[in-house]
Amino acid sequence: MTVTAIIEKGIDGLFSVYSDSSIDNHFFGGFGDNVAEAKEDFEESIHEAIEASQSGTKFEDITIEYKYDIPSLFNFLDYINVSRFAEYAGINESKMRAYKSGSVFPGEKTMKKITAALARISNELNSVSLRI
């Protein structure tokens, strides 16, 4: 079973994770001060749904696909320098900081630039090997 989980930063500054998926009408959700806490709470809600269910589903049978809004992404990957990322993606640095804070939301064209930059980073990291 694949569960698509949406991670968003709320106007209260907290992070939430939610999904339309369920097990025997037991739905999942999570909240936290940061993305890691919200994901942990979300996964706990899946465990609780499994315990309450008669479906025989096991947590190991579930694949979670997380989808992030921009503030959540940069909270989760807090080791990424937003200014350097903006330069790498070809986005105005001050706008990128506003996207990170959640005060402004990127349009479709900018989202494509962000997605393309993330894909390039992924490819670059996948091509790296360390000499042992």
What is the domain partition of the chain in residue ranges? 2-68, 80-126
Residue 23 in this model has a pLDDT that exceeds 80: yes
Q: Is 19 helix (H, G, I), strand (E, B) or coil?
A: strand
Decide: 71 and 9 in contact? Cβ < 8 Å.
yes
114: number of Cβ within 10 Å: 19
Residue 56 in this model has a pLDDT that exceeds 80: no
CA gap 26, 49 in Å, rounded: 5
pLDDT digits (tens, 9 = 90+) for 39-49: 999 999 999 98
CA distances from 126 to 45, 85, 113, 120, 129 (A): 32, 18, 20, 10, 8
As a whole number, mean pLDDT of residues 97-126 equals: 95
Average pLDDT of every residue of the chain: 93
Which residues share a beta bridge with 26? 23
Q: Is 109 exposed, middle or buried (0-12, 13-18, 19+ CB in 10 A)?
A: exposed
As a whole number, mean pLDDT of residues 78-90 equals: 95
- Two tokens, residue 53: 């269910």
Q: Which amino acid does the sequence have at 4?
A: T
Decide: 111 and 99 in contact? Cβ < 8 Å.
no
Residue 122 in this model has a pLDDT that exceeds 90: yes
CA gap 77, 68 in Å, rounded: 11
For the entire predicted model, the pTM comes to 0.84
